[in-house]
Amino acid sequence: MRRHVLILAAPLLLLGACATGPADNAASGENLASAGLTPYGKFMAGEGALRDGRSDEAARMFDEARVLSGDEPAISERAFMAALLSGDITQAAAVAPTGDDVAISAKRLGHLVVAVENLAQGKAKLARQQLTDEDIGFPHRPAAAMLAPWVSAEAGDIDGSVVRPASGGDRLIAYFGLIGQAYLYERTGRFDEAETNFKTVASGQSAGEMVVLGYGGFLERRGRKADAVTLYMEALAREPASPQLQAALARAKSGKAPPPPPTLREGAGMALISPAAIMVSQRQNQIALAYLRLALRLNPELDEAWLLVGDLMQGAGDADAARAAYGKVKPRSPDYSAAQAKLAWSYQGEDDPKTAIRVARTAAATGSSAARLTLADLLRSNEQYAESADILTGLIKESKTADWRLFYARGIARERLDRWSEAEPDFIEALKLRPDEPELLNYLGYTWINRGERLGEAMAMVEKAVAANPRSGAMVDSLGWAHYRLGDYKAAVKTLEQAVELTAGDPEINDHLGDAYWKVGRQDEALFQWRRVLTLQPDEKIKVAVEAKIAAATDPTKSAANVLGR
């Protein structure tokens, strides 16, 4: 069932409040066409549009309901949120809820929206005054604090622009506040202070891509291209597949013009990304989407925001809105490959692999390594293993830094092609590069177990994977199957039961549990598990094997020992 996170379902009390006249109409038997002209009818049409993932239509219907109801508070709140979350910030600001009969949470968000709209319209001094207003309270105070320095700069308040945002003890706000302050220090010519900030956030092995790109761009603008190249190369050693870092390194090496610092409007939009990301991490997706829409009102070219909007809309079930967001990223952008990958996977998720692969091929034709990797992944997901392996071979040959993921992916493709003599060295090479990666340990360990090879070593690998991810049904299944292959059927039953509890709908795990039950003499339960497998849409290989076991188990001429062919 598709779930929507954009706007919460209306409580019954709210529906009653909206039905000032429509309820009487419905009770008197008037037809739905008549009801559709009332606030209630429009409101319900908006609710239906939300349930179907049509956010733009929902916003329009709620606004029509607001007009028809004479700005009835409950409907007005809904219209405000729908306009905001669909990206119509000008309309959202125009209908921002006020008054004593409005929910305080809606009013607080409304104040923030109005301030951003004023900034977008060039009214920076008014926006600055509104951002410092106590009406912008929890949970939007950090977002207002992140915006405030950029708004101060736009209003001409130089001293106010370099005041670091108050973090309220939030380490992420403090971290991103340092980055914003660094850009604003640079803007005012305080270069030493700017570099101190950049160095602080970029120190250590965990510096994010955004920080590295920001500091590197600063170094390039200061004429220190060699230092920028070193910074980019160190980051690429950690993230070799990053198209943004690759592009930055190529630019710095070629001597091309450095990237300009963000404009004040761009910086203000960028400032809203961090509170949006924090809200995503806290599963406050509605507020996160609101912040991203505000960021895009200030800077419609903010590709990172478009990607995040697409992700949120995809998660909400609005595939069309998600694809529209991904499509906003232009081919010249370093984020283009990521956007096209997400676009392709959105079609794959809608059971349209033909379109997914077509989109991926178009992106891969640009020569982008990231886009070609996406194509290889999609081909493998659609069982086109040979072409996937060929693309991965090309990527491995071109890669200046060995990437375990490429060897792992090619190993999977080759293993599915029954080319084990080629697949096994790929897995082993990947394991050398990433010895503690749970997915890799589990895949290779399980494959050895299933082939009856290197069982002791495989058992240790799977145990290590399970220790890292004890809630992974697939990994617990591998451990249970290792017990089975080693002949410890009681341990296999116990472990495989845990795996089925974790991933109840996996046909292979249920099949394994059926086999383990049979081995310990629990034949009725084994038959139940095998029959259950056939209801879980197994692939053809599992389906044929399970049907053969059921036939043998129910044939009185066959002994129990002959049921399992393994």
As separate numbers, helices (DSSP H) first and strands (DSSP E) second, the chain gives 34, 0
pLDDT mean across residues, the chain: 86
| pLDDT, average across residues 24-43 | 49
Is residue 155 located within the same domain as residue 130?
Answer: yes
Is residue 155 located within the same domain as residue 253?
Answer: yes
| Structural domain contains residue 298 | no
Is residue 190 located within the same domain as residue 78?
Answer: no
Examine the fold and report which residue of 405, 431, 457 is the final residue of a domain before the chain moves on.
Answer: 431
| Structural domain contains residue 60 | yes
Q: What is the pLDDT of residues 275-309, one digit of tens each?
A: 998 899 888 998 999 999 999 999 999 999 999 99
pTM: 0.76
**Of 21, 18, 15, 8, residue with least CA distance to 71:** 18
> Are 99 and 114 within 8 A, CB to CB?
no
Examine the fold and report which residue of 241, 271, 301 is the final residue of a domain before the chain moves on.
Answer: 271
Give the model's pLDDT for residue 37: 63
- Considering only residues 44 and 24, tell me which one the structure prediction assigns the higher pLDDT: 44
Number of folded domains in the chain?
5
Q: What is each CA distance from 126 to 116, 118, 119, 132, in whole angstroms?
A: 10, 7, 8, 10
State how far Cα 154 lies from the chain centre.
33
Examine the fold and report which residue of 37, 70, 97 is the final residue of a domain before the chain moves on.
Answer: 97
> Are 145 and 173 within 8 A, CB to CB?
yes
| Structural domain contains residue 314 | no
| Structural domain contains residue 408 | yes
**Of 212, 128, 296, residue with least CA distance to 288:** 296
What is the Cα–Cα distance from 361 to 344, expressed in whole angstroms? 9
- Among 111-115, 206-210, 396-400, whose mean pLDDT is lowest? 206-210
| Structural domain contains residue 282 | no
What is the Cα–Cα distance from 311 to 309, expressed in whole angstroms? 5
Q: What is the pLDDT of residues 456-494, one digit of tens each?
A: 899 999 999 999 999 999 999 999 999 999 899 999 999
Catalogue the long-range contacts made by 426-431 (C-beta closer than 8 Å, 24 or more residues apart): 429/402, 429/404, 430/404, 430/405, 431/404
Give the model's pLDDT for residue 79: 82
Q: What is the pLDDT of residues 502-541, one digit of tens each?
A: 999 999 999 999 999 999 999 999 999 999 999 999 999 9
Give the model's pLDDT for residue 559: 75
CATH number at residue 502: 1.25.40.10
Is residue 418 located within the same domain as residue 455?
Answer: no
State the burial class of residue 41 (Cβ atoms within 10 Å of its Cβ: 0-12, 13-18, 19+). Answer: buried
| Structural domain contains residue 319 | no
Is residue 243 located within the same domain as residue 152?
Answer: yes
| Structural domain contains residue 216 | yes
Is residue 421 located within the same domain as residue 458?
Answer: no
What is the Cα–Cα distance from 64 to 512, expressed in whole angstroms? 57
In this predicted structure, the answer to whether residue 270 has a pLDDT above a threshold of 50 is yes
In this predicted structure, the answer to whether residue 557 has a pLDDT above a threshold of 90 is no
Q: What is the pLDDT of residues 233-264, one digit of tens each?
A: 999 888 887 888 988 999 999 989 999 999 99
> Are 146 and 180 within 8 A, CB to CB?
yes
Is residue 125 located within the same domain as residue 251?
Answer: yes
In this predicted structure, the answer to whether residue 221 has a pLDDT above a threshold of 70 is yes
> Are 95 and 69 within 8 A, CB to CB?
no
- Considering only residues 244 and 546, tell me which one the structure prediction assigns the higher pLDDT: 546
Is residue 234 located within the same domain as residue 151?
Answer: yes
Is residue 107 located within the same domain as residue 36?
Answer: no
When pLDDT is cut at 50, 70 and 90, the band that residue 358 belongs to is very high
> Are 309 and 301 within 8 A, CB to CB?
no
Is residue 204 located within the same domain as residue 262?
Answer: yes
Q: What is the pLDDT of residues 168-218, one digit of tens each?
A: 777 878 888 999 999 999 999 999 999 999 999 988 666 788 899 999 999
Six token digits for residue 421: 């003599």
| Structural domain contains residue 310 | no
| pLDDT, average across residues 427-447 | 95
Is residue 418 located within the same domain as residue 361?
Answer: no
In this predicted structure, the answer to whether residue 2 has a pLDDT above a threshold of 50 is no
Is residue 13 located within the same domain as residue 125?
Answer: no
Six token digits for residue 97: 């809820």
Q: Identify the domain containing residue 422 by its residue range.
A: 392-431
